[in-house]
Amino acid sequence: MIEPHGSKNLRPLYVSDAAQRAALGKEAEGLPSMVISSGAAASAVMLASGYFTPLDGYMNLAESLSVARQMKLPGGWCWPVPVVNIVPGARLPAGVKPGSRLALRDPNMPGQPVIAIQEVRAVEALSVQDQGAVIAQVFRTSDEAHPGVAALKVAGDTLLSGPIQVLNYSYFPGDFPDTFRTAVQLREEMGRRGWNKVVAFQTRNPMHLAHEELCRIAQQEVGADGILIHMLLGKLKKGDIPAPVRDAAIRKMVELYFPPNTVLVAGYGFDMLYAGPREAVLHAIFRQNSGCTHFIVGRDHAGVGSYYGPFDAQKIFDEIPKGSLKIEIFRGDHTAWSKKLNRVVMFRDAPDHKPEDFINLSGTKVREMLVAGQPLPEEFARPEVAEILMKYYQEEAAKGQ
């Protein structure tokens, strides 16, 4: 395993000492409080988990602009997207100013309990110009049809920066007890398994046969001891498959088609940004913090619609200064079943193939087949995975009738 990003050791911000956590919970009862955005709450979970090492809390305006424009924190560390607590200024509790302590409430839990306490170091107005600069750099578009752009534009007009102490991991341990894991836990588990070289695969979707084989190809090419299949468990855009369905499908695939002790299935508590190249760098950073030595960046990584080129998320790793990250990037090509070779291959490894030589279904076609109860080709998806997805899509279709 490799060192965390920007630090010799992980810096999880979860208050693990029960007595200290209880004292902070008691303190929170007397503090001004406010409900934060889902994105800010998810960032608190990532900070708590150690995934966002070396950060100690939410960024201020100067840090946010430095990250947006240069992908760099003022201290020099590479960082691709601002980690911020943006709130509507009109909702800010009276008297909150630099030096205040503020209880942050979780919008995603019943009763909106306190998820963290923030030491407010700055309260800054976020101008339309600065907001626009961040959006343009991070998302490479200002189109409000982009889900990440839309979420940032409605978050608010005031930045609250400063370190936080996190009291819980929101809904993730309760909803995903077998899957949600912190960076600390992943390092511990990899150590127990005796893994030193680990390749990570990011997903917000179920895995078809091509994804499965891409993991195998990467493991073999880098000589990894194991594979971390690491799925996003937070909020997604409308139309994406919910985490419980995805979790069940991936676990079934691993159970049936991978040798024991070669794959670790886990999830992290973050909302999807759909920031394409910038999000790919963020994904690499928190896989480094998890202890992984290699990270698969495939075609259209973390993208949405047609905002990014198919390999922009790979090219960005050529744009950051050499040595910015310790984790190595495995660049995956489009992968599909070859009728000529009778196996899954990456397109770059089959230069003599034409498009018709591959079995490749669009997402729309896959959904239509599953809703209709038609089995997917076994060259495209494992039948046990397809069965789980078919049940989900047919239930969703029945709800819409």
DSSP annotation of 78? B
What span, in angstroms and rounded, lies between the C-alpha atoms of 72 and 74? 6
What span, in angstroms and rounded, lies between the C-alpha atoms of 300 and 137? 18
Is 205 a residue of the active site? yes
What span, in angstroms and rounded, lies between the C-alpha atoms of 161 and 365? 46
What span, in angstroms and rounded, lies between the C-alpha atoms of 374 and 263? 30
Active-site residue, selected from the candidate residues 101, 204, 216, 251: 204
What span, in angstroms and rounded, lies between the C-alpha atoms of 158 and 137? 19
DSSP annotation of 296? E
As a residue count, the chain comes to 401
First to last CA, the chain: 51
Active-site residue, selected from the candidate residues 121, 205, 331, 367: 205
CB 302 within 8 A of CB 314: no
CB 107 within 8 A of CB 36: yes
CB atoms under 10 Å from CB of 263, counted, come to: 22
Give Dmax over CA atoms of the chain in angstroms.
70
Structure tokens belonging to residue 118: 């923030």
Helix axes 61-70, 128-139, angle to 10 degrees: 30
Q: Pairing relation of β-strands 158-166 and 57-58?
A: antiparallel
Is 204 a residue of the active site? yes
CB atoms under 10 Å from CB of 387, counted, come to: 16
User: Residues near 291 by Cβ (< 8 Å), separated by ≥ 6?
Assistant: 1, 2, 183, 186, 187, 190, 198
Which of 155, 160, 170, 177 has its CA nearest to residue 115? 170
Active site residues: 204-205
